[in-house]
Amino acid sequence: MNRDILDQRDVTFDDEIAESFHYDYRLKILEIGFGGFIRNGTYHASACKLRVANWKRGQSKRNYSHKFQDLDSNFGVVSLLLSIELKCQSLVLIVNTVDNRYVEWHFESASLEVIREPQEVPPTPRFVAASSSPRVAELAGMVSGERLAWLAGCLQALLGVWMRLRPAGMSLALTPFDGDIRLTS
């Protein structure tokens, strides 16, 4: 599978809602996935990722603040990418997060790539319910590959935040078929 690296100077994501988000603080990789992009004024309905990597220093601030903090201080899952700006050795992203915060991220000496993914349709996963309950079988049949990917991303983000912020002695229990999330101590 060949991926196409696009010239980021020609690509924008105007009004394009982010479909995926990945952040690895150890490897210094941030990826925002989109279902399409605009290149030289023409819209392309082709999946792609904006990848920021290998920064020397990352800082962030909320839209109303004048003081920059560590990158993780104002981090959140991206809903919209509002602005990309390259200034000398600095990359500036202004984003709107899913919890409706406007955040500015600054990256020093970062690499920036726009990667167009190949146009392959992945096979839809098949699920077999390990229960004789008709409700369990119905729920298992409702999960498509797209919904599963979205759900997995949400769970990954939730668990990542939970592991960093959970109070001592608290645990998280997810029960997938009744949709219940419980906090226990």
Range scoring the smallest mean pLDDT among 156-160, 165-169, 178-182: 178-182
Per-residue pLDDT at 129:
40
Question: How far is CA 49 from each of CA 31, 80, 173, rounded to the nearest angstrom?
Answer: 6, 13, 32
Q: Could you give the maximum distance between any two Cα atoms of the chain, in Å?
A: 62
pLDDT digits (tens, 9 = 90+) for 91-141: 999 999 999 999 999 999 998 888 887 765 555 544 444 444 455 445 555
pLDDT, mean of residues 39-51: 88
Residue with tokens 């990789």: 29
Residue-wise pLDDT for 58-81, tens only, equals 999 998 888 999 888 888 889 999
Residues 143, 145: Cα–Cα separation, whole Å: 7
The DSSP bridge partners found for residue 125 are: none
Q: What does the pLDDT average to over 84-96? A: 89
